[in-house]
Amino acid sequence: MARILLKVHHPTREPADAATVLSRNLIGNNVGNLAFSYAAERLLTHPGDEVTAAPTGPWFADPARVNREFDHVVFPLANHFRASNLKALERQSAAIEQLTTGFTVLGVGAQADLDGNAPQDERDAVDRATRRFVRAVLDRGPSIGVRGDFTREYLVGLGFDEDRVDVIGCPSMFLHGPELPLRLPASVEPGDPIAITISPYVREMGDVLSRSLRRHRRLTYIGQDVNTLRLLVRGTPLSGDDQRLPLSPEHPVFAPGRTVFPLSIPAWQDFLRTQRFTFGTRIHGTIVSLVSGTPAVLLAHDSRTLELARYHRIPFVRLDEADPQQLSVPDLFAEADWAALTGGHRERWDTYATFLDRHGLKHGFGPEGGVETFDAAVAAVAQDPGFPPVVQSNAGPPPPLRRLARAVRRRLP
């Protein structure tokens, strides 16, 4: 039996209410972080192994204890190689260097703009921290799993052997293993229930949102970042002064029933199954929609979102090449290449499964199963009424489209 320590922001089977999630930041600033940790937790649930899903900060404060109690450490990651993450990289590297366990990284990525450029004044520090982290990982495992070709080329450029950098995508896309249960309607119409995801700092989304509110009376904004959760719970505005973006409680997208904020992946999936289509800038908002069966198109705004979309063949539009005023939901759906997404999924899963085998890790989609055990445990947790799984903007039905349209025109330039 392998004893595995799995890094997560918050264990799936330990529910928390919105106030606790907010006060302790159990989503690591973005509920999208739960997508890849949840998928990894489900994936690694295998009858022959014992998985401890937990934040690794407290464990890494005592590496000797990790060595005593675990055989393997698994880190599902996102855009880890970036300037704002330098302290975490250094802290984790120092701890990993003291481990004698096996070590596996699932789907780490670098961060840059859509053309692959990062600020020059940040690059040297990020390169140094990244080299140290990757060197520590490769000293304890056969390879490192990265999101896509952009990160692979970055690490090879730092001097790492290309045979030890495996492109595997993101664990969240393999929530169902080799299957991708996508349901494609014949079309998407303005009157259909549609979800939008927004990075509140991407200015182009102000135009996209205002236009979408006018055109789609059943549009729902799915909030993901911790500041939007704080707005919904406490009424605290986000920083910024662009009135077109969802930064203030007075924005029409926060009218009753217009915005939802999921606190767990199952709750997020339950909501998305009621939607006809999802679009927007959030890569994990896009992925959770796809693995829930609802088609989604990404509006790519940086390398980390573009890299995953390209690898998994997720339909996308580059925001720097699009006119936000001309983006049309029916057109986004109709012009998407769904065959490339679904047709290559099993091959990408085989690549992922081969990577796990290379690292000596078993998964719950094999003949011995395992995911059923995980699903049963999650279902039992979901029965607890003390932890509402979704935060809504002032519970109630969306206001009439005309009133919203007037509000948009009144408040937006």
User: Are 201 and 241 part of one and the same domain?
Assistant: yes
Tell me what the mean pLDDT of segment 333-346 comes to: 97
Look-up of token digits 């890494």: 60
User: Are 291 and 403 part of one and the same domain?
Assistant: yes
pLDDT tens per residue, range 366-377: 999 999 999 999
Q: Where are the strands (E) in 78-142, listed by range?
A: 79-81, 102-106, 109-110
pLDDT tens per residue, range 240-296: 999 999 999 999 999 999 999 999 999 999 999 999 999 999 999 999 999 999 999
Least reliable range by pLDDT among 115-124, 159-168, 189-198, 202-211: 115-124
* N-terminal to C-terminal alpha carbon distance within the chain: 61
210 pLDDT band, cuts 50/70/90, is very high
**pTM of the predicted structure, to 2 decimals:** 0.93
- Which pLDDT belongs to residue 380? 86
User: Are 144 and 6 part of one and the same domain?
Assistant: yes
Domain count for the chain, please give it. Answer: 2
Q: Is residue 367 part of a domain?
A: yes
Say what percent of the chain tops pLDDT 90. 86
Whether the Cβ atoms of residue 257 and residue 42 lie closer than 8 Å to each other = no
User: Are 74 and 213 part of one and the same domain?
Assistant: no
User: Are 243 and 265 part of one and the same domain?
Assistant: yes
User: Are 38 and 26 part of one and the same domain?
Assistant: yes
116 pLDDT band, cuts 50/70/90, is confident
User: Are 243 and 318 part of one and the same domain?
Assistant: yes
Q: Above 60 in pLDDT, residue 412?
A: no
CATH of the domain at 154: 3.40.50
CA distance 317 to 331: 11
User: Are 151 and 209 part of one and the same domain?
Assistant: no
User: Are 228 and 97 part of one and the same domain?
Assistant: no
User: Are 103 and 223 part of one and the same domain?
Assistant: no
Q: Above 50 in pLDDT, residue 129?
A: yes
User: Are 255 and 158 part of one and the same domain?
Assistant: no
CA distance 248 to 161: 48
Least reliable range by pLDDT among 89-103, 331-345, 398-412: 398-412
User: Are 330 and 355 part of one and the same domain?
Assistant: no
Measured torsion, CA atoms of residues 335, 340, 346, 347, in degrees rounded to the nearest 10: -160
What domain range includes position 260?
Answer: 194-342+390-411
Q: Is residue 155 part of a domain?
A: yes
